[in-house]
Structure 1
Amino acid sequence: MKGKTLGKSALCMAMGICLASMAVQPALAANTDGSLAGRVAAGAEVTVRSVDTGFTRTVKADANGNYRFPFLPIGTYQLQASKDGAAVGAPIEVVVSLGNEANINLGDATNLGAVQVIGTRVISPVDVRSTESATNVTKAEIERIPVGRDAQSVALLAPGVIQGQYGGASFGGSSVSENAVYINGLNVTDFYKRVGFSSVPFGFFKEFQVKTGGYSVEFGRTTGGVINAVTQSGSNEFKYGAELVWEPKSLQSKGENHYDGDGDPFRIRSHDQYDRTNLNVHASGPIVKDKLFFYAMYEFRDYRPENTNDAGSTFFKGKSDKGFWGTKLDWQISDKHLLEFLAFSDKNETTTDNYQFDLADGRRGNRINTQFNEAGGTNWALTYTGYLTENFSMKALYGENKRDRIQSSQNDLECDAVQDRRVSGLPQIGCVSSALIEQGLDKREAARLDFEWQLGDHLLRFGLDREVNTSDNESFYPGPSRKYYQIYSTTPGTTIENGGVVPAGVNAYVRARQQEVSGSFESINSAYYIEDNWQITPDLMLNAGVRMEGFDNKDGEGNTYIKIDDMLAPRLGFSWDFNGDGRSKIFGNVGRYYLPIVNQINVKQAGAFLDERTYYALAGLESFEKNGSTYYRPILGQQIGPVDNSQGDGSVGDLRSEVDADIDPVYQDEAILGYQSMIDETWSWGVRGIYRRLHNAIDDMEITSNGIVCNGSPGEIGYVMANPGKSVKLYTDTNCDGVNDGYVNIDTSRAGWALYDADGNYVGERGWVKPKRTYRALEFMLDRAWDDKWAFNASYTWSKSEGNAEGPSNSDFGFDNTGRTESFDNPFVNLNGDGPLPNDRRHQIKLRGAYAINDNWSVGATLNAQSGRPINAFGKGSPFDGTSYHSFYVCVANCQADNFADRTYQLRSRGSGGRTPWIFDMGASLSYQQQFAQANLRVKLAVYNLLNQQRRIEVDDEYEQDIGFKNPQYLYGTGYQSPRYAQLTVSVDF
């Protein structure tokens, strides 16, 4: 390329203004559809027509013979070229898949029909215009093999994706709270904790794309992966049918029981089982032929789980029968304007009765409580697609995503919490043991604009993306009074916390505490992006883009609490079809990805906080019977002193001392280099190397010094949301008069935690280590496409995830509060804590395949084999002060010495406890299909965990239960593989 042209193209990439012209167009598609492009004779017309809906568009090839159809709904199309109004050759069929571009050449710039295409063209497994790492899976493929009927199970088919803790998935070493899920372009990811997402029945989906890396600047707010799915749509053919999915407890193997060293129950699983029956009925077709279409589904659900607690002393029997409904409307206004509407409700209610249980004879006793759980909600999205000119197109979306978070119980409604702190063990003597009850509703309002503008050999893509995420939240103590009654021993004349004096004759008092947090908490996530896809030569494409992010988290009164903006996320990728035949490529990309702050942070720290404490003389205990057991509540005597609300008066306090004023975002840098090639027309293989590095953490840290020594005593600040190991700017006491009056900067890599000797003398400060996480992987893939006889897919992933921080959610200590982990509560939790992280499964082997025995019978199988995760040996102390908390130090001698300096500690590095065993999860299925007149019958029996392995997948990592005292349950399993179960699916379609 000449210097002038190269310079102009470089300017085009930088400014998005392109005036050049080249031969082959880059292959890109939006997140709800696909695209179609290729070469034909210059000036020829190319027409695409949907086989299902009749949607038709015609474009004219440019002077170099290039044509392109952006934003095409996925499906099968007929492609026809014409010259001077006359059709040339027969139309061919092309399949357009989600997030991909089908590249079909109908000739060259001077000779229409020079390239002859016969039959149906399915998108090649080697997309030589794509720079991202993604796995496409259709509903038809999944129906041939045994796969769980949910989006996450589909994601686990992709290389480098493993099951994480708290029910989520880990993409490329990330924690489970770093992913994003889209349905028809609507983000349905949980934003309260970022674990989970809105769900729809499997039959409602049409196709999935699992993005594991290198994705476009169109996608953001994730440092893990993306599950992108589209739903079924109507067509010109009226269809209806029903599908029954049955999982009976009679086809489930019993779970194994586990006992501790004394023979006492530790994990009782033999009574865990369920019955699940789902029946969905669906219909679709034209409202107006070639114009307006509908798809509708209703699913009847009946789910009845049964299980015991770990000790086998309580039996739980649940019931959930709330149905799902969903609909999709598509209006083809003209060949230039499309409108679609999606709506569904995944609202779910579960009622669980609790019974006393005798493990010895397997009988349940009195009902002791009933629990209520509500989740999910209504969701909808309206999407417009406009083909404004042959070179300029747009999409616009607005939608809402709702999720309930409501948990309560009958006892919570009827019983106050009562604790007798005069007795060893601090027993709960009331009829409820719940802590704070939390109820919430999360609502996302999503809006985005996406544009594509073809300018010669450059395809510009740009857009805006904005979400307003609101959590209406309330937390309070259980019981009709919403108060927590705690009983303390005392002596007459004692001054208690509120300044009151205990009167004569009173030897015990009651603290009635009302603690509530309420409010509407909003976070605004906004972004805009621009991307240039430059076809440098017919065989080399360069993708360069940038995304600008902004996060604004607000408190319970609507004021900004944490705001981070101007986050620049550049992405750069290339794809080189080095043979020029569209059968192989070398590709790579580098990029930066930012992660938003979960709403839970706002709720937990920035709400209208009420902490009201009233003290009474104890006038005795009143006993009462409930559910066959005896409980007690205090009889309140005279009030002692005033009501104390100094800890929280029901308003949002001054948060400047609780959050870093210059907080930095959490982000990840990624680099991928790969190769992919077709072996023949059905077989292909590939390999890619991946490097990821996570930067920063936003977490709560206990700052015990403000950096200013006041008369030899540092001023304590408390827990602060900040970046561990970096400079923190806090509003605090700057002149040692006990009043916050200005900002100080504390370099938490060196200071912030006050150290004291054994006599309580201040001796200096200590800082935090910086969070680190790196992920390195090699992925090998082999694929054989389905040819109506058999298909096969295999992948092997070698990976290494190392550092000292798993991510915003942490499974080291089984604490699921995203963004408020225990990893940085003090400087010693992660000190010398580098090593393999919880999601480090060094080897992963995934196989899946299907074989058609004849026209009626087929079999399918899957295998997911993974090496074990690392096990730690956490201690409870620190050689550096008297702290008793999580650490990588274990006391081995003189552990009961009063002076911590006399104790002997040993460093137990991360992963020093070995690894959990390999997991082999095999599934098998047998399918039968038959056509009867207009009816298509399909019966499938799938068996999951065929080998019935019930190995440990999680263990208790705490080596010490207290300084010098070994935890007797160290290495005991805290999570196991689910036992073998079977699923019968019967569907009839007309």
Structure 2
Amino acid sequence: MQRSTLLRGAMRRTSLCTAVALCLASGGAFAQSNASGAVFGRVAQPEGAVVHLQNMDTGLTRDVNVDADGRYRASSLPSGRYKVSLERNGAVAESRDNVTVAIGGVDVSFGGAAPASAAEAQNLEGVQVVGNALPAIDVSQVDSRTVLSSEQLQKLPLARDITAAALLAPGVISGDSRYGNVASFGGSSASENQYYINGYAVTNALTGLGFVNLPYDAIDSQQVLTGGYGAEYGRSTGGVINIVTKRGGNTWKGGVGMYIQPNGLRQSPRSIYRTSGQEFQNRRDNTRDDIQYTAYLSGPLIKDKLFLFAAGDFTRTDTKSTSSILAPQRTNQTQKATKWMAKVDWNITDSHILEVTGVGDKTNTDRSIYAYDYTSHSRGNYLGTDKLKNFDAGPGSTPGGDVYIGKYTGYITDDLTITGLYGHTKTVHERDIAYSGSPNCPWITDSRRGIANPIVGCGLVNGTVLNAGANDKTKGWRFDVEYRAGDHDLRVGVDNQTLESTSGQIYEGGYRWIYRNAGTVPGRPDIVPPPGQPYFVEKRLFETGASVKTEQEAQYIEDHWQATDRFMVYLGLRNEQFKNLNGSGDTYVKQRHQLAPRLGVTWDVFGDSSFKVYANAGRYHLAIPSNVAIRGASASTYYSEYYSYNGVGANGEPQNIAQLGSRSYLNGEDGTTPDPKTVAAKDMKAYYQDEYIAGFDKAINDNWSFGAKATYRKLRGSIDDFCDSRPFENYAAANNIDISNASLPGCYLFNPGSSNTFLVDTGGGNYVPFDISKEGFAVVDNGVRIPFPDLKRAYYSLDLYLEHHFADDWYGRIDYTFSRSYGNSEGQLKSDIGQLDPSVTQDWDAPEIMQYTNGPLPNDRTHQLKAYGYWQASQEWLLGGNLSVATGRPKNCIGLDPTDAIQYGASYFECGFQPSPRGSKGRLPYTWNLDLNAEYKPMWAGEKQPLAFTATVFNVVGSQRPVAQIDVGETGSVDAATGQPVVSDDYRRPIAFQNPRYVRLGVRYDFSL
């Protein structure tokens, strides 16, 4: 026994020495598509050597010649398990089984002397190379990535969704709860990410928030790119999530599963109270039960040629919940989510592969809604039903839809590979509201201060609803060519996608009533409530609707250049073109030649892949989302009217009203289609960001590695809307331009913080360019000059990690991130108020609204600690854990401006008519969360342990700290007696807490046919 151990140790040291010797002379650069992998490496003696690869599941084979320097590369490989063999003189010299190829690549190098003859080579057949004994440090990549295999996704305590896995990556945090289950990467807003399934972008076509989902068990691997990604990627200034699905093999396999999350094992969520102590929302009686059924089937339709993998999830969620005192209702809801994925792979020959993927993600929600009495905490009369299809109950939630993708891969020669892909998606949104009584149920909000029993309406949801006929569609294609020329791995490609949306919103019941304390309305001198009346009411109408289109095209070229044995240089350039069309089919923004250079370098310090130093720099562009055309470039109506009243009707509407002053159209949205020539500034730059990263990865010993990475991101160019006519009036006066008959849109799209040129119709189609400098956007308010600030959003971070690779029956990783995200604009979104209008937020609408806005942004979390791993305690038992700790979100006070020249009410970083700079009110408390899981696979079920029982406890300690609050501190009215703004009852009221503790129990059975 001792002798055998010594022999194995000697063999291991020999293998290690061989691997080190190989790596001293090699690097191993490669390129691969975003939905495939690569095998690369070095051969010690390359003369006459050929590397043979065989997919152990499908039989696909590929032979790759070894060049004179001993390098080889097989790129664009379908994911799976491979046997990689070194052949000499027609026989196998060395081989390695079970090489797992996923997104990215794997280094398989070979050493040893060449056999003297075919007979000697035959004698070596079956000998396996250990490969690098040190942990794998990928010296061929410059990007920052986290790749999780399907096995890891099963072993870690994660919610069964893509976002939960993405949150394991350093620098990734949950986005604002009002945007749904989405993530923010590196300080960017949550709409700035791209999501791919098998190489095709499935990001929400309308807003960029969310994506089409798929069955969790269909995921083969998930790649999370947090920075430094190559020129093949675009349309993202946040992060990239790549999903590669499983595929069938030569063995028929299948499995079924069931997962339940019973309400009986769920902690009650915290109720919400105002700071005064008044109960705002009773959540103690909320209940939730989840049950999910899963199944998959995999196998050959024709052995070695045609394969199928199919999977499905069916989830039913039953909830009972109580809304707030502003619209007291009790809702019984049943949500049925069906997700399916089917993939067919056809190995036409070993050199030509065709794959077709279909994905379906549909959610139907049925809600029965009742009145609720907050005095007795009891349910009242039935009000009606609300039925939704592919439109989740929460705003900004994943929209679902159908996806179909076809991809061809051709290995033309050892050095030339081509791929072509085409895909399309479609999502249809439907909503059907049925009232028990009168359908005249407008949205009612009671903003009066200190009201114990606020006025409520009869509406079912009291909010904004989609217009009929809403749907989203995308279609796209890409073509890529990879060619290896000596030390250069070249890749060029074309990447085009068109997004179409028919969408629009309207207030439920057609309009909205907002009850307010009496007092003047800043910016509206004609609003004077009658003497002695303590309150007045605002009537607001909002309606949009159009069919719009966005066309996105890109071309790129990149080169992985093995400059020396230890230095690999990456050079890339992406050229992007964006075109946005309004509801009339007219182009209102067209951007050409948006050049995005990418540069990176890696240094294999010791030449043995045990210590990598790397750096990269790049520019990344983002297109204007389609929703901008709905709101800013197509016909919309948005106005306010003010009334005195005497009495309130049964449906919450004011009685005996008398209008105060005139109607006020907000942002100029008066129901007419804006002139496409005047909607946006001329020659606008695209939304873009520059990024710089430097770091290192170091292997400590056979099982441990650590590293550090510094990141700096700076938003260089943004696109938002500007809704102030004063700079145009000032420019006209300074340049003697008559604008008495001019048609000025309510808002213009422009590049904030820089000079812009606008076309203005001064009358009769006479378009005059207005060249407004950055200084020209300044205005004089109450005798004070208010400038427009420079655009500012910067993010810097330091990431440290320590990782124990799977050995000795356990795996673990810990990440610590110190970061700051600061500036005067979050980006496309405005999480301060949960505004769901990407690229047309309140920011930049006028100089006043940008005062005091510089500070820590909503996605800033100064300190983050993440630790996760699992332990194979025995052959039958596996235990896992996931810990996350983070600094709380910055707090603000947003209120009235003394003049409110643009009539935005409580929308400024001012409170009590005094400056209230961004982030000056401290932070929410830090959060920490611990999840634990256990898996039991009994031996009595069979030798292959096909049966598994699982239990996962999320938020073990039950911490429910607030993660977001109301930052608007004032109501919008000024108290006539004090002359001060009326403080809002809802200021600092929590919006969302950490999820309460809950338990998921599961069972699954995997079988072979």
Question: Normalising to structure 1: TM-score of the pair?
Answer: 0.85
- Shift of the 138–325 alpha-carbon distance from structure 1 to 2, 3 Å rule, reads same
What SS class does the counterpart of residue 850 from structure 2 fall into?
A: coil
What SS class does the counterpart of residue 323 from structure 1 fall into?
A: strand
Cα pair 2:816 2:865 within 8 Å, conserved: yes
Match of 2:489 in 1: 459
Cα pair 1:461 1:532 within 8 Å, conserved: yes
Matched, 1:239 2:247: no
Residue 403 of structure 1, CA deviation: 2.8
Residue 475 of structure 1, CA deviation: 4.4
Q: Distance in 2 between matches of 1:419 and 1:787?
A: 60
Match of 2:693 in 1: 672
Residue 888 of structure 1, CA deviation: 2.6
Matched, 1:857 2:857: no
- Shift of the 218–648 alpha-carbon distance from structure 1 to 2, 3 Å rule, reads closer
Residue 515 of structure 1, CA deviation: 7.8
Identity of aligned residues (%): 32
Matched, 1:127 2:138: yes
Q: Distance in 1 between matches of 2:62 and 2:26?
A: 22
Question: Deviations for 1:525-551, whole angstroms, at most 9, x for unmatched residues?
Answer: 110100111101111100001000111
- Shift of the 771–366 alpha-carbon distance from structure 1 to 2, 3 Å rule, reads same
What SS class does the counterpart of residue 472 from structure 1 fall into?
A: strand
Match of 1:914 in 2: 922
Taking the TM superposition and a 5 Å limit, the aligned residue runs for 1:210-221 are 210-221=224-235
Matched, 1:66 2:91: no
Q: Distance in 2 between matches of 1:802 and 1:544?
A: 30
In structure 1, which of residues 289, 292, 305 is the aligned counterpart of residue 319 of structure 2? Answer: 305
- Shift of the 957–322 alpha-carbon distance from structure 1 to 2, 3 Å rule, reads closer
Residue 633 of structure 1, CA deviation: 12
- Shift of the 453–927 alpha-carbon distance from structure 1 to 2, 3 Å rule, reads same
- Paired amino acid for 1:279: Y
Cα pair 1:550 1:565 within 8 Å, conserved: yes
Match of 1:948 in 2: 958
Match of 2:677 in 1: 656
Match of 1:797 in 2: 817
Residue 866 of structure 1, CA deviation: 0.3
Matched, 1:400 2:400: no
Cα pair 1:29 1:101 within 8 Å, conserved: no
Taking the TM superposition and a 5 Å limit, the aligned residue runs for 1:344-493 are 344-359=359-374, 361-375=376-390, 376-411=400-435, 415-416=439-440, 434-435=463-464, 437-439=466-468, 440-475=470-505
Name which structure has the greater RCO, CA cutoff 8 Å, separation 6+. 2
Residue 796 of structure 1, CA deviation: 0.3
Match of 2:58 in 1: 53
What SS class does the counterpart of residue 547 from structure 2 fall into?
A: strand
Q: Distance in 2 between matches of 1:256 and 1:287?
A: 53
Match of 2:794 in 1: 774
Matched, 1:138 2:149: yes
In structure 2, which of residues 600, 606, 622 is the aligned counterpart of residue 595 of structure 1? Answer: 622
Q: Please say which of residues 774-783 and 882-891 is displaced more in the overlay.
A: 882-891
What SS class does the counterpart of residue 320 from structure 1 fall into?
A: strand
Q: Please say which of residues 978-987 and 368-377 is displaced more in the overlay.
A: 368-377
- Paired amino acid for 2:960: Q
Residue 974 of structure 1, CA deviation: 1.6
Runs of 5+ unmatched residues, structure 2:
1-24, 391-399, 516-537, 657-664, 973-979
Question: Deviations for 1:8-47, whole angstroms, at most 9, x for unmatched residues?
Answer: xxxxxxxxxxxxxx96541332211110112222331110
- Paired amino acid for 1:916: L
- Shift of the 916–108 alpha-carbon distance from structure 1 to 2, 3 Å rule, reads farther
Q: Please say which of residues 950-959 and 441-450 is displaced more in the overlay.
A: 950-959
Match of 2:526 in 1: none
Matched, 1:568 2:595: yes
- Shift of the 211–484 alpha-carbon distance from structure 1 to 2, 3 Å rule, reads closer
Q: Distance in 1 between matches of 2:805 and 2:474?
A: 39
Q: Distance in 1 between matches of 2:338 and 2:205?
A: 24
Taking the TM superposition and a 5 Å limit, the aligned residue runs for 1:135-214 are 135-165=146-176, 166-167=179-180, 168-214=182-228
- Shift of the 537–179 alpha-carbon distance from structure 1 to 2, 3 Å rule, reads same
- Paired amino acid for 2:160: R
Residue 79 of structure 1, CA deviation: 1.1
- Shift of the 164–513 alpha-carbon distance from structure 1 to 2, 3 Å rule, reads closer
Cα pair 1:52 1:76 within 8 Å, conserved: yes
Taking the TM superposition and a 5 Å limit, the aligned residue runs for 1:258-337 are 258-311=272-325, 313-337=328-352
Cα pair 2:94 2:125 within 8 Å, conserved: no
Residue 156 of structure 1, CA deviation: 0.3
Q: Distance in 2 between matches of 1:840 and 1:109?
A: 57
Q: Please say which of residues 370-379 and 738-747 is displaced more in the overlay.
A: 738-747
Q: Distance in 1 between matches of 2:833 and 2:544?
A: 26
Residue 964 of structure 1, CA deviation: 3.1
- Paired amino acid for 1:181: Y
Q: Distance in 2 between matches of 1:71 and 1:174?
A: 31
- Shift of the 232–89 alpha-carbon distance from structure 1 to 2, 3 Å rule, reads closer
- Paired amino acid for 1:749: K
- Shift of the 86–773 alpha-carbon distance from structure 1 to 2, 3 Å rule, reads same
Q: Distance in 2 between matches of 1:222 and 1:704?
A: 32
Matched, 1:523 2:544: no
Q: Distance in 1 between matches of 2:961 and 2:131?
A: 46
Q: Please say which of residues 69-78 and 153-162 is displaced more in the overlay.
A: 69-78
Taking the TM superposition and a 5 Å limit, the aligned residue runs for 1:78-97 are 78-97=83-102
Taking the TM superposition and a 5 Å limit, the aligned residue runs for 1:704-783 are 704-705=725-726, 706=728, 707-709=731-733, 717-734=745-762, 741-747=766-772, 749-752=774-777, 755=780, 757=782, 766-783=786-803
What SS class does the counterpart of residue 631 from structure 2 fall into?
A: helix
Runs of 5+ unmatched residues, structure 1:
1-21, 489-510, 624-628, 636-643, 758-762, 892-904
Question: Deviations for 1:299-339, whole angstroms, at most 9, x for unmatched residues?
Answer: 23211122111338211111122432221111111110111
Matched, 1:787 2:824: no
Residue 958 of structure 1, CA deviation: 2.4
- Paired amino acid for 1:849: G
Residue 162 of structure 1, CA deviation: 0.7
Match of 1:958 in 2: 968
What SS class does the counterpart of residue 789 from structure 2 fall into?
A: coil
Match of 1:505 in 2: none
In structure 1, which of residues 826, 831, 840 is the aligned counterpart of residue 851 of structure 2? Answer: 831
Q: Please say which of residues 600-609 and 920-929 is displaced more in the overlay.
A: 600-609
- Shift of the 665–487 alpha-carbon distance from structure 1 to 2, 3 Å rule, reads closer
Matched, 1:256 2:270: yes
Q: Distance in 2 between matches of 1:951 and 1:129?
A: 42
Residue 778 of structure 1, CA deviation: 0.4
Residue 262 of structure 1, CA deviation: 4.5
- Shift of the 742–445 alpha-carbon distance from structure 1 to 2, 3 Å rule, reads same
Q: Distance in 2 between matches of 1:202 and 1:246?
A: 15
- Paired amino acid for 1:975: A
Match of 2:395 in 1: none
Q: Distance in 1 between matches of 2:828 and 2:807?
A: 44
Q: Please say which of residues 200-209 and 399-408 is displaced more in the overlay.
A: 399-408
Q: Distance in 2 between matches of 1:361 and 1:631?
A: 21
Question: Normalising to structure 2: TM-score of the pair?
Answer: 0.83
Cα pair 2:40 2:105 within 8 Å, conserved: no
Cα pair 1:732 1:739 within 8 Å, conserved: no
Residue 851 of structure 1, CA deviation: 1.3
Match of 1:875 in 2: 895
Matched, 1:27 2:30: yes
Question: Deviations for 1:112-138, whole angstroms, at most 9, x for unmatched residues?
Answer: 999985358899531011111001111
- Shift of the 33–263 alpha-carbon distance from structure 1 to 2, 3 Å rule, reads same
Cα pair 1:43 1:63 within 8 Å, conserved: no
Residue 157 of structure 1, CA deviation: 0.3
What SS class does the counterpart of residue 229 from structure 2 fall into?
A: coil
Residue 290 of structure 1, CA deviation: 1.0
Match of 1:7 in 2: none
- Paired amino acid for 2:172: V
